[in-house]
Amino acid sequence: MNIDYLIVGSGLSALVFAALMAKSGQKVLILEAHEYPGGFGHTFEIAGKYKFNAQLHYVWDCGEGQAVNRILKKLDLDQQVTFEKYDINGFDHMRMPGYSLDIPSDNQVLIHRLGKLFPHHEQQIRRFLSEVQKVRKGLRFLTPPINLLQILQHPNETICAATYLNSTLQDVFDKFQLPLAAQTLLALQWPDFLLPPNQLSFYAWVILFTSYQAGAFYPTRHFEHVINSLVDTIKKHQGELLFNHEVKEFLVENRTIKGVRGINRVTKEFFEFTAANTICNLDPKKAAKMIGIHNFSPQVIKRLNYDYSPSNFVAYCVVKDIDLRDYGFGAWNTFHSEHSNLNMAFKQMYENHDYSQLSFAITTPTLLTNHERDCPEDCQIIEFLTVADYDYFHKLRDSDKKAYRQKKNEIFAQILDVMEKKYVPNFRKYLIFSMTGSPTTNERFCWCPQGNSYGSNLTPRNMGLGRLNHQTSLNNFYFCNASSGYPGFAPTFWTGAMLYQRLANDWFLGI
């Protein structure tokens, strides 16, 4: 078989790249270690009746004319893969002791709401949020590939954005002297990064916050349909996807990647494929180790020297005989913190494994679309997410399985206690199914080193100028993954499409 593009991994950026290449007439073959496609975005089914997406909750850039929509149009999928908008009056509901704030799409409404909560600090809040908008504009011109002309045409925004290159969100909160409670309300979506304000890149926060303000979305027919539509497109254009195919080795000759070797995890048979080009969707650092780091250029070695983003704890749950809409849930996410200081809440949970003052996200996928259900008619799905330390859980699991299970149960019990106290009295009574995932679960099912959540950690160091891109310095070999682009549904769509544009010289999205 003559393969133009051999792709290792079927994460979102790989599927987008493969679908575009296959549609353009190239022969693509994807090798996926897992039994499902989609990587972090895969959907799994339990007991033949409940479906959960492993990680994805809400997404941006999916409106008409936005990047995801334009990529779907190019694939003739835009009519089939559609999205529902979250409530624009409050897509993220922030809840903490003494305060509650619904984040709206309209910035003026947000300023008004915060002004009412913090009347003595309205000016600071207004100045902070206007700086956020300015930085957002500037970042558009600073995001590679850089267009010098655009930078010269918008010097103000570009210089403003550039000054925050090394800033954390906390640095900017401090600069604008925002009161602590306002900081917490604005940063309560921290599980979207799994980093607290004092570690999180200001750029990462600005991009996500403003992008969701511009439109937070959920796929009309759930994430599984998005993934399946991409897979179907690949197959329709003679592409192939082989599951349970774990790549163990890259074939290297004179700094050129010729193909891969690996094992079929079901049949235990070995396989070998060669191809004109190899695309690496698995974690670039892990791939570089498999290949031998000495084969890469000093510049790429430097870029590969990133640290991983923290891992997480997820609880996938089903409730029955209750409508969560009667308890404050709906077409939005809820972010809850028992602690008023997110830096301290994070430290307690991540470093001390103490979840007594929880901060976590609550999502309700069944309330986001009416089209199809991921569970029986009389049930609803609800999911909880917070941070968890990989090393701690890994050691527990290997040394004491009982203690490992106990710790998972303990975190879940803390979540349920908060649910019962603050949201749904007797919540446990309605719970008919629950399953928890730890950092080691993440590693096992999403194949992510150290159970990382977003690839390289979203700190200023990793989000700055030395960020890895598609270039590997090896011949016929390209990175295509969140860590060599940007993490998230829309950003990995963009990462896959950008690589397609470069290699196919078909600039449908523009430069």
Ligand X SMILES: Cc1cc2nc3c(=O)[nH]c(=O)nc-3n(C[C@H](O)[C@H](O)[C@H](O)COP(=O)(O)OP(=O)(O)OC[C@H]3O[C@@H](n4cnc5c(N)ncnc54)[C@H](O)[C@@H]3O)c2cc1C
| Token pair belonging to 243 | 């599951």
Strands 240-242 and 28-31: parallel
| Token pair belonging to 275 | 């191809």
Closest CA to 207 of 438, 491, 454, 479: 491
| Token pair belonging to 1 | 């078989």
Give the nearer residue to ligand X in terms of CB position, either 57 or 74: 57
Q: Closest CB to ligand X belongs to which residue?
A: 11
Give the nearer residue to ligand X in terms of CB position, either 414 or 442: 442
Kindly state the smallest distance separating residue 399's Cβ from ligand X, in Å.
25
Cβ atoms of 67 and 61 within 8 Å: the answer is: yes
Kindly state the smallest distance separating residue 93's Cβ from ligand X, in Å.
15
Give the nearer residue to ligand X in terms of CB position, either 141 or 493: 493
Kindly state the smallest distance separating residue 491's Cβ from ligand X, in Å.
7
Residues 6+ apart with CB under 8 A from 425: none
Q: Which residues are 163's β-sheet partners?
A: none
Sign of the torsion formed by the C-alpha atoms of 450, 454, 460 and 462: positive
Kindly state the smallest distance separating residue 152's Cβ from ligand X, in Å.
32
Cβ atoms of 191 and 344 within 8 Å: the answer is: no
Give the nearer residue to ligand X in terms of CB position, either 40 or 355: 40
Positions that interact with ligand X (CB under 6 A)? 8-14, 31-34, 39-41, 55-59, 246-247, 281-282, 312, 385, 447-448, 453-454, 481-482, 487-489, 492
| Token pair belonging to 210 | 């403003």
Give the nearer residue to ligand X in terms of CB position, either 178 or 499: 499
Kindly state the smallest distance separating residue 496's Cβ from ligand X, in Å.
7
Q: What is the three-class DSSP state of 433?
A: strand
Strands 333-337 and 92-96: parallel
Give the nearer residue to ligand X in terms of CB position, either 135 or 490: 490
Kindly state the smallest distance separating residue 378's Cβ from ligand X, in Å.
26
Cβ atoms of 29 and 245 within 8 Å: the answer is: no
Measured distance CA(404)–CA(408) in Å, rounded: 6
Measured distance CA(332)–CA(386) in Å, rounded: 17
Give the nearer residue to ligand X in terms of CB position, either 34 or 74: 34
Kindly state the smallest distance separating residue 322's Cβ from ligand X, in Å.
24
